[in-house]
């Protein structure tokens, strides 16, 4: 029993090492980091302009929103490489070869998940370097809440990665996997953004059609609140904004449970459908 576990662990490490080093040698990770940090820079420039224009002396947690924008972009990248990871190897026949060898569904998915999370930890290093430099250049505080947000993002990204692997386990073709993933994630984001916009408006300023749309989005948002991986990031950022450590801890716990459920589901689906399914 112990030797079997040791062998599975060795196999998982080998898969992680292979995929992790392969991704590090490519340009995708660095392009995603560049785009996300450039987007943060644009948001920061607008924020600094607003501070100067309105003569604001104190700004609470000014770097959290730029971080949020970066996280959304990086999350999309990690979700795409997660969803590609299984479907591409199905297309190429690599998965069938691996499963005839020493690899099973559990070790394979754990390896894919671990590789993606390690890639995000590399991205976290970029975040710390970037926001430290921004704080030094602009005198915007690198606050404790920013550290909490970056730590929280590890668990939120875990939800994104698990969701990508789940979609990939359901589909058999790489193109289909990407279309389904991007479509679902964009739908989740659209619901969240439009709901937030309508909720922020006064009820008297809304027409009857917009009021109906807001109520509809409220119901849909409640339903997708536990399904959308982005909702866990949003929930955690809100807990930081109001300073509630209890809600912060619950956000991390919910993210772990969500990731675990999707990973277990992915293993069961992959075993049920087989390597060609």
Tell me, what's the pLDDT at 150? Answer: 94
Per mean pLDDT, which range of 60-64, 86-90, 94-98, 249-253 is the poorest?
Answer: 94-98
The structure's pTM equals 0.86
Query: Which is more confident, 162 or 89?
Result: 162
Alpha-carbon gap, residue 119 to 141, rounded angstroms = 27
Fill in the DSSP letter of residue 225.
Answer: T
What is the per-residue pLDDT across 209-237, written as a single tens digit (0 to 9) for each?
Answer: 777 787 887 888 777 888 889 889 888 99
Cβ(146)–Cβ(131) under 8 Å? yes
Cβ(47)–Cβ(129) under 8 Å? no
pLDDT level of residue 94 (50, 70, 90 thresholds): low
Q: What is the mean pLDDT of residues 117-124?
A: 95
| Residue spans per domain, the chain | 2-273
Cβ(169)–Cβ(262) under 8 Å? no
Cβ(124)–Cβ(152) under 8 Å? no
Query: Which is more confident, 15 or 112?
Result: 112
The yes-or-no verdict on residue 83 having pLDDT over 70 is yes
Alpha-carbon gap, residue 52 to 54, rounded angstroms = 6
79: left (phi over 0), alpha (psi -120 to 50) or beta: alpha
Cβ(221)–Cβ(199) under 8 Å? no
The yes-or-no verdict on residue 178 having pLDDT over 80 is yes
E strand or H helix at 92: helix 64-92
Query: Which is more confident, 95 or 259?
Result: 259
The yes-or-no verdict on residue 156 having pLDDT over 60 is yes
Query: Which is more confident, 62 or 135?
Result: 135
Q: What is the mean pLDDT of residues 11-36?
A: 88
Number of H helices, E strands in the chain: 10, 0
Q: Which of 114, 159, 154 is nearest to 11 (CA)?
A: 114
Query: Which is more confident, 211 or 49?
Result: 211
pLDDT level of residue 117 (50, 70, 90 thresholds): very high
CB atoms within 10 A of CB 240: 21
The yes-or-no verdict on residue 60 having pLDDT over 80 is no
Alpha-carbon gap, residue 238 to 240, rounded angstroms = 5
Tell me, what's the pLDDT at 195? Answer: 74
Alpha-carbon gap, residue 225 to 233, rounded angstroms = 11
Fill in the DSSP letter of residue 196.
Answer: H
What is the per-residue pLDDT across 137-152, written as a single tens digit (0 to 9) for each?
Answer: 887 778 889 999 999 9
């Amino acid at each position: 029993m112990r030797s079997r576990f040791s062998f599975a662990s060795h196999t998982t490490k080998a898969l992680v090492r292979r995929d992790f080093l392969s991704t590090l040698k490519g340009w995708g990770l660095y392009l995603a980091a560049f785009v996300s940090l450039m987007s943060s820079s644009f948001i920061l420039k607008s924020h600094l302009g607003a501070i100067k224009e309105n003569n604001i002396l104190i700004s609470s947690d000014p770097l959290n929103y730029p971080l949020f924008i970066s996280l959304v972009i990086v999350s999309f990248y990690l979700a795409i490489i997660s969803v590609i990871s299984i479907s591409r190897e199905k297309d190429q026949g690599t998965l069938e070869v691996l499963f005839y060898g020493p690899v099973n569904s559990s070790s394979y998915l754990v390896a894919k998940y671990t590789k993606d999370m390690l890639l995000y930890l590399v991205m976290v290093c970029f975040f710390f370097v970037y926001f430290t430099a921004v704080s030094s250049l602009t005198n915007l505080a690198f606050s404790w809440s920013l550290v909490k947000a970056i730590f929280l993002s590890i668990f939120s990204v875990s939800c994104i990665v698990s969701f990508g692997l789940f979609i990939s386990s359901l589909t058999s073709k790489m193109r289909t996997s990407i279309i389904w993933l991007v479509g679902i994630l964009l739908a989740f984001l659209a619901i969240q953004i439009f709901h937030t916009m309508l909720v922020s408006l006064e009820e008297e300023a809304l027409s009857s059609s917009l009021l109906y749309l807001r109520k509809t989005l409220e119901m849909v948002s409640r339903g997708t609140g536990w399904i959308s991986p982005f909702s866990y990031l949003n929930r955690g950022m809100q807990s930081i904004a109001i300073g509630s450590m209890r809600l912060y801890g619950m956000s991390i716990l919910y993210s772990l449970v969500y990731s675990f459920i999707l990973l277990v589901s992915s293993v069961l689906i992959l075993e049920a459908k087989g390597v060609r399914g």
